[in-house]
Structure formats: C-alpha cells, structure tokens
Amino acid sequence: MNLLKFLWNNSRKLVVVAIVTSIVCGLATAGLVACIHAALSNAASVPGRIAWGFTGLCALSLLSGIVAQVILVHISQGAIYDLRMRLSRQILSTRLRDLERIGPHKLLSSLTDDIMALSYGLLAVPIISVQVMIAVGCLVYLGYISLPLLGVIVGFLAAAMVSYWIPSSVAIKRLEKAREQQDFMFKHFRALTEGAKELKINSGRRHAFFHDVFHPTAETYRRQNVIGFSIYAAAANWGYLSFFLMIGVVIFVLPAFLKMDADLLTGATLILLYLRSPLELIFSMVPELARSQIALKKVEKLGIDLSAPDDRTLDKAAHTDTESGHRLELRGVSYSFDHEESHHFQLGPLNASFRQGETVMIIGGNGSGKSTLVKLLAGLYAPDGGEVLWDGCAVNDANRDDFRQNFAAVFSDFFLFETLLGMPVEGLDARAKEHLRRLQLEHKVRIEGGRFSTLNLSQGQRKRLALLTAFLEDRPFYVFDEWAADQDPYFKGIFYTQILPALKEKGKGVICITHDEKYFHLSDRLIKLDCGKIEDVREAVDIRFNDEGVMIHDTRKSVSS
C-alpha cells in the first residue's frame, strides 16, 4: 500500500488512466474466456458472432494491456527518478550533525541497494496491477455463470492467501534481519577499501578482519536471505498447488452439493486454469514487493522525511557578498553532542568575534572542540544555545544557508571534486592555472574545461588543490582546519608566510586551526580552547620566541575577544 500511495502521490492522473485501462484489459480477458466457453458449449456449430467477438476482444485485450503497462512503467520510472532526486535533496538538506550520526555506510546502503530494491518493487507494480485486473475479470465472469460457485472459489482463494501470508510474514522478518546486516556490510566494505594498505601490511590484522569481522556478517546476510526467499518459494509452490486443489474440489466435490451440468463444469475449469497464470505471476513478485517495502522503511528510519517538501535552496544560485568590513560574532554559543555517543561533550558557552582583514589562529589539544567551533562559525552546525551574529544580525534556520555562502573552507577531512563546480566559467581555466603555479602543482596537474587532469596525488598535494578551489570561491572568510599538517616544511612556510598574508591583504578574514607554534606570531589573535572552553585570547604581538625558535609562553598577554 505504501508503494501504491507513493505512485499515487507522484502521478495521480496517469494512475487513474492506468487503472481504467487495466480494468478494460481485465474485462476483455474475461470476455475472451466467455467466448472460449461459449465456443466449447457449441462445438458442433460455432456462431460467427462468437468468432468475431473473440477476435475483437483479443485486439482490445492486447491494446489495453499494452497501454496499461506502458503508462504504469512510465509512472514507476518517474517515481524511481523522483525518489532518487528526493532522497538526494533531503540528504543535502539534512543537518550535517544528523548525517554524521547516521553514518556514511548507512547513507550509501540506502542510496544504492535500497533505491534498487524500491526500483524493482515499483517496476513490479505495473505487472501486478494488470494481472490483478485480469484475475478480477475472470472472477466476474465466474460470478456471471454461477454465484454459488464464485462464493466457493473466493472462499478457497481467501484461505489460500491466508495460508500464503502466514509463512510470508516470517520470511519478511528474515529479510529485515538481512537488511540490517547490509548496513554492517557497507561499513566493512569501506574498511576493506579505505584500509587496504593497513590490511596488506599486517597479515594478522588482515586474517582477523576477514574471518572475524567480514565473514560472519556476510554469512549472516546470506543465511537470512536464503531462509527468507526459501520460505517465499515454499509458500509460492503451495499457492500453485492450491489451484489444482480448487480444480479438484470443483470437479470431484462440488457436484455432490451443487447442481452443476457439464457446461458449467467446463466453464469453471476453464476459468480456474486461466486464472492460474496471473496469480502465479503475482506470487512470484511478492518477494520483490517485500524487499521494496523493507527498503522504504529503512529509508524512513534514517530520519530523512521523503514526504517533506523539497528544499528549494538547492535550485537557487549562491550569492556571495564580496564587500569588506563584515563582522562575525558568537554570543554565549554552546553546542553539545548526542548522548548516545561514547562520551558527552559540550562546547561553550563561547563569546568571540572575528573580522575581515584579520588572521585568527585557533589552538588547543586534540578533542578540545576546535573543529566543532569552526563548523559553528561556518554555519554547518546550529548552536544549541546562544547566537551567531553576522554584521549584528542573528543567523537562524531561515538564513543559515545564505550565511554559509560567506565562507570558503578546507577541512581536515576535506573532499576533492574532479571539477571546479559552481565557479564562473569565464576565465576559469586561466585563473586556476595561475593558482596551480603559485601552489607549485603545474607539473602535476592540468586544468581544462574546469576539470582536473588527475587527483591521483599525495595527500599534501590534494590539499593544495582543495586550497586552489577555495581561492577561486573568493569568499569573505576562509577557514582552514589544520591545512598545513600534511605539508612539507618548505610549503608549510609558504602557507603561513605568503598565502595567509596574501589573503589578509585582500581583506579576507582567515580562521586557521593549527598546532604550528613556530608561526603563531603571524596571526593577529590567538584563541586557545581547552575542554570546550576558551581558555584565553592573546594578541600575536605578545608572542615571543627564544633563540632556538621555541615559544616563550609566559610572556604573552591575555586580551578580551
């Protein structure tokens, strides 16, 4: 029913047309059975009108069946497309923290296997719809020739459906367990591909991963699927046998209780034999419908509401205010992670301000909240308490996406796209090539048509390409999360002594997470975090180094933000 509701919500007019043509197809099929029955009853001299009627009904059945299935295929394919687009849109619209909570393995599993399962289920709907109408048409004709016989057959079919559904419900539970294991399978696939170096270099780890982690999950997934589909196969075979049992009841049992002449007996047997084909087809597709229903539930469990209206911000062009003088301020901002995580961490309350034309370095130990802070600053996280202000105006859910357009960032877990997406096309290659030269990558990478010739580079070089992308975005504020951590000493110096000053000279606000004490003095301000709190804020001019280049901590002076 959920699949039918999904189809109905996507294409109501076409669904109505498909239903009407399916009904016509079913009635035409029932008419064909009636013609065959009439011809068998007058085998000695078949009237010409029956032959012409048979020919016309063949044409009508063929035409209406084709039209019904073509329309329903069109509807189902449109629904599949809409589902993919809607799920992708909802993922892009879902809060970053919620996506992090779900995990990439679950998202990939839904975007691939769940979408395919839903696709198969939606493709089965057109076939099943037409077959149901054919079956209904056959039963209508059966009621025409004998209402008592129709009552017996319908009762028998109801009992057969119940006996099919009971084991099917057990099969569904097995398939649901298999689907749960699939999330773990995708998690292991990520470990298998992303951890290939670590697995190859340590045979003990490789053996333990394959035999103790991957194999048990794959075996459980296989076993649950085998049990589930085996139950469906057994139930389907019982369904096939039930047709012959019905024929046996009609031929050998009912004549003792109902007045049935040879003509009625022939017609009933003919209808039941014809009815077997569409019902067999329906039974064979029930497992796919079950898997698609499980997939739909799984998508809903992600917390992504497919019934929610599309986020239209995905369709509008991003607007970036390149004017100078912007001010970013945090007032009593706090943020805490979900309680179900291994430990509860709270950032803040924090009070701080950032201006264009200044370079601020954020320092602190691992887990002190530095990355969380910059995600709050860039609008990727919404604070639990307090306010983020942009030029004195509060950032809220209504304007947060516009606010994010003021930032270009290279995070520690950055992703590098193959093309320079979302950039003005005019002069793009020339600007990009100039940055390639500045970043000393012109001998490694070419840019043609806004596309990188290769991404098969070292981590440090890939970070330089990410920096190139950030340069081209030309935003008021730049955020760097330990960008220099993967750079060699020479280019690390270039980053701090040339790139950051150049951004400052252009009037950009630079917020840089770093552990490189040697370059602290190049910032305008230094903000230190400890256990989610701002421990102190110091002016860079008060940072001193001894003759060995080691920072002398006790000579710095704290100032307010």
Q: In this predicted model, what pLDDT tens digit does every residue of 415-465 receive, in sequence order?
A: 888 888 887 777 888 888 888 888 888 888 888 888 888 888 888 899 999
Does residue 319 surpass a pLDDT of 70? no
pLDDT at 367: 84
The CA–CA distances, whole Å, from 408 to 91, 203, 228, 269, 404 equal 21, 42, 50, 74, 9
Record the pTM.
Answer: 0.71
At residue 554, the pLDDT reads 44
Give 389 or 291, the one with higher predicted confidence.
Answer: 389
Q: What pLDDT, on a 0 to 100 scale, did the predictor assign at position 341?
A: 47
To which residue do tokens 């950030």 refer? Answer: 470
Classify 43 as helix, strand or coil.
Answer: coil
| pLDDT band with cut points at 50, 70 and 90 for residue 320 | low
CA torsion, points 287, 294, 193, 84, in degrees to nearest 10? 100
Q: Is the pLDDT of residue 342 over 60?
A: no
Give the position of tokens 């099969």.
171
Q: pLDDT digits over 177-193, tens only?
A: 998 898 898 889 888 88
Question: Which of 13-27, 38-52, 223-237 is predicted with the least confidence, judged by mean pLDDT?
Answer: 38-52
The stretch 507-528 carries a mean pLDDT of 91
- Taking the CB of residue 115, how many other CB atoms lie within 10 A of it? 17
Q: Is it the case that residue 199 has pLDDT exceeding 70? A: yes
**Stretch 15-37: mean pLDDT, rounded?**
78
CATH of domain 2-307: 1.20.1560.10
139-143, 172-176, 473-477: which range is least confident on average?
139-143
Q: What does the pLDDT read at residue 6?
A: 66
Mean pLDDT of the chain, nearest integer? 82
CATH class of 327-555: alpha beta
How confident is residue 479, by pLDDT bands cut at 50, 70 and 90?
Answer: very high
Average pLDDT over residues 340-344: 56
What pLDDT shows up at residue 294?
A: 85
Residue ranges, CATH 3.40.50.300, the chain: 327-555
Instruction: Over range 2-29, report the average pLDDT.
Output: 74
Name the more confident of 119 and 528.
528
Is pLDDT at 274 greater than 50 in this prediction?
yes
Span(s) in the chain for CATH 1.20.1560.10? 2-307
Question: Does residue 559 surpass a pLDDT of 50?
Answer: no
Of 271-280, 502-511, 514-523, the one with minimum mean pLDDT is 271-280
Rounded alpha-carbon distances, angstroms, from residue 453 to 201, 419, 434, 444, 450: 30, 9, 16, 9, 10
- Taking alpha carbons only, the member of 287, 339, 275 closest to residue 175 is 287
At residue 188, the 3 state secondary structure works out as helix
Q: Which residues of 199-230 are buried (b: 16+ CB within 10 A; e: fewer)?
A: beeeeeeeeebeeeebeebeebbeebbebbbe
More reliable by pLDDT, 4 or 25: 25
Query: How far, rounded to the nearest angstrom, does the alpha carbon of residue 186 sit from its chain's CA centroid?
Result: 13
